[in-house]
Amino acid sequence: MSKEDVARIIAQEQGLVFEAFDEGTAFSLGSRVRERALREQLGLVVDVRTFDRTLFYAAMPGTSADNANWVQRKVNTLTRLLKSSYRVVLERTFEERVFPAHRALDPAQFAIAGGAFPIRVRGCGIIGCITVSGLHERDDHQVGVEAICDELGLDKTPFMLPPL
């Protein structure tokens, strides 16, 4: 399943592209996740940012400062590797949930955990990310992907990961 999941995530990363992205888009995107969390009573944090600043942040009941820390570490991983943090999880060739020492990526700063997904703008490339923390890492990932699909007005079906 991992190879198929990686291929699907690469398709998500290549297919979910914004024509433009600004503060209003970030608010709308983050609000979609927050509204879903309220509706489904999901204990999660959602963070939408460009690489230079946070544009939207919401913490739902049941979350803690640990979630904010996980968000930052997932963001750092995406920012360094320019791919979904869940893709990093699935592509790793080692068992540990920390980067090998030769990568010099301190586990206090970089998480190997799903939930950060790139925000890509046509003609610009990756400019930031949406990050979710609080659910299973596959669900964190998929919540962000589904919100982007909704924001872009796209059918979610081709972008869904199969259930575990």
What's the predicted TM-score (pTM) here?
0.96
- Predicted confidence at residue 50, as pLDDT, reads 98
Structure tokens at 151: 């924001």
Kindly list the structural domains of the chain, giving each domain's residue range(s) and its CATH number in brackets, ordered by start: 2-96+104-155 (3.30.450.150)
Evaluate whether 77 touches 68 at the Cβ level (below 8 Å): no
Which stretches of 16-136 are DSSP H helices? Answer: 23-40, 65-81, 85-91
Vertex 32: Cα angle to 161 and 14 (nearest 5): 45
- Predicted confidence at residue 1, as pLDDT, reads 52
Number of H helices, E strands in the chain: 5, 5
Residues with pLDDT less than 50, the chain: none
